[in-house]
Amino acid sequence: MFEFELLHRDIASAARAGRFNTPHGSFDTPTFMPVGTCATVKGLTCEQLAATGSQIVLANTYHLLVRPGPQVVRRLGGVHAMLGWRGPMLTDSGGYQVFSLAELRRLSDEGVTFRSHVDGSAVELTPQRAIEVQEALGADIIMQLDECPPHEAPRAAIAEAVERSAVWARRCLAAKMRDDQALFAIQQGGVDLELRAQSARQIVELDLPGYAIGGLSVGEGHEAMLSVLRTIEGQFPRAKPRYLMGVGEPRDILAAVACGVDMFDCVLPTRNGRNAFAYTWSGPLRLRNAAHASDTRPLDESCPCPACRNYSRGTIRHLFMAQEMLGPILLTVHNLTFFAQFMRAIREAIAQGSFGRQSREWIEKLYPADKGADPNG
């Protein structure tokens, strides 16, 4: 039911291209997952989302637990039916909210209790409860509950999070009942390579369908992230997918792919799209800039999305300046289309043996103000 096929390997790096099969179809790797936190990618219909070329979508356990509740989601047919999405889906366990909602939670070895960001009520999330909720949501890939410490936490606190996350991974596996969902465990350890190796050993022992690298992209910086990613090839099984959580900057994606990462998610393309920021193969466009006011060119000549086929840069800028909702919708569609094309180009480069050269060329185009930067650090 869950099978990871390695199709191509890069000869000069750990980059690889593959395919992961799930009950709702397969997705190609390396892949990027749009974030549909509350069972919706903001502003898009399921048809618009599918047209971007995205193959797998992420939703969030904590947010759906708070509202509308897992039993309501189950009665509505699960997250696939709520989103109207027929392809693979993944649910984050709520572990990231242990980090992002630190001021609203109380943490112990048993689990975490949040003060709901909606109404202030107590929301309890234990490893067992995280699995129970995700089984009700019905995604194809589910995640263990983990503790993601802030990057500036002292080593003792990071070591405690590694141990706690390992224990929680075992409790999640013991609680899992459905065989049509793949459970991924999550590595922690900050940027401490010894703790990272320890965390990897503890979760690999569970022999799960896939493994995630958590606790990065939380303020540690590009070089510190790379120091961790360069170690994963020897820490995780080659025959299992590796998922770098919460990373979406193209420079970081290229560097992570070179280290052997297969899956990514991030709010950047959708959040930035709602804020008049467009990704293009020639570098970013900030559409609120007055320089675009009378620009008749499309966002990107090579992009097949509706925004590029039907609207000029000047028109899209006008939509944002007039606070018309179509502006954020168009840029959300465009950015997700760009990311889907970007990941497809990466897969093709790996298959053709040109990933290293093309990565350097992409960096020069995507970051024109920083030409010559090496995506691998």
Instruction: Provide the domain limits for residue 83.
Output: 3-266
Computed over every residue of the chain, the mean pLDDT equals 95
Mean pLDDT throughout 137-156?
Answer: 96
Please tell me whether residues 130 and 193 are part of one structural domain: yes
Please tell me whether residues 28 and 93 are part of one structural domain: yes
Residue finishing a domain among 236, 266, 296: 266
Please tell me whether residues 174 and 104 are part of one structural domain: yes
265 is catalytic: yes
Residue finishing a domain among 218, 246, 266: 266
Please tell me whether residues 193 and 328 are part of one structural domain: no
Please tell me whether residues 328 and 366 are part of one structural domain: yes
pLDDT in tens, 318-369: 999 999 999 999 999 999 999 999 999 999 999 999 999 999 999 999 999 8
Closest CA to 334 of 255, 276, 294: 276
**Structure token pair of residue 295:** 């620009």
Which residues fall within 8 angstroms of residue 173, CB to CB, at 6 or more apart?
144, 183, 185, 206, 208
Please check whether residue 158 lies inside any domain of the structure.
yes
Please check whether residue 10 lies inside any domain of the structure.
yes
Q: Which pLDDT belongs to residue 312?
A: 98
Mean pLDDT throughout 131-145?
Answer: 98
pLDDT in tens, 147-187: 999 999 999 999 999 999 999 999 999 999 999 999 999 99
Q: Which pLDDT belongs to residue 372?
A: 40
Please tell me whether residues 256 and 336 are part of one structural domain: no
28 is catalytic: no
Per-residue confidence band for 101, with pLDDT thresholds at 50, 70 and 90: confident
pLDDT in tens, 234-262: 999 999 999 999 999 999 999 999 999 99
Please tell me whether residues 202 and 318 are part of one structural domain: no
Residue 21 burial by Cβ neighbours in a 10 Å radius (0-12, 13-18, 19+): middle
Query: Is residue 98's pLDDT more than 80?
Result: no
Please tell me whether residues 63 and 142 are part of one structural domain: yes
Please tell me whether residues 130 and 64 are part of one structural domain: yes
Please check whether residue 25 lies inside any domain of the structure.
yes
Closest CA to 86 of 133, 46, 144: 46
Please tell me whether residues 309 and 255 are part of one structural domain: no
Q: Which pLDDT belongs to residue 377?
A: 39
Residue 53 or 377, more confident: 53
Query: Is residue 229's pLDDT more than 50?
Result: yes
Per-residue confidence band for 117, with pLDDT thresholds at 50, 70 and 90: confident
How many distinct structural domains can be found in the chain?
2
Please tell me whether residues 206 and 108 are part of one structural domain: yes
Residue finishing a domain among 250, 266, 282: 266
pLDDT more than 70, % of the chain: 98
Per-residue confidence band for 94, with pLDDT thresholds at 50, 70 and 90: confident
Q: Which pLDDT belongs to residue 371?
A: 52
pLDDT in tens, 9-29: 999 999 999 999 999 999 999
Per-residue confidence band for 376, with pLDDT thresholds at 50, 70 and 90: very low
- 10, 140, 265, 300: the catalytic one is 265
Please tell me whether residues 171 and 63 are part of one structural domain: yes
Mean pLDDT throughout 312-318?
Answer: 98
Show the CA angle centred on residue 219, arms to residues 214 and 222, nearest 5°: 85
Mean pLDDT throughout 50-78?
Answer: 97
- 10, 92, 252, 262: the catalytic one is 92
Please check whether residue 376 lies inside any domain of the structure.
no
Closest CA to 94 of 57, 118, 127, 135: 127
CATH number, domain of 240, equals: 3.20.20.105
Please check whether residue 318 lies inside any domain of the structure.
yes
pLDDT in tens, 255-290: 999 999 999 999 999 999 999 999 999 999 999 999
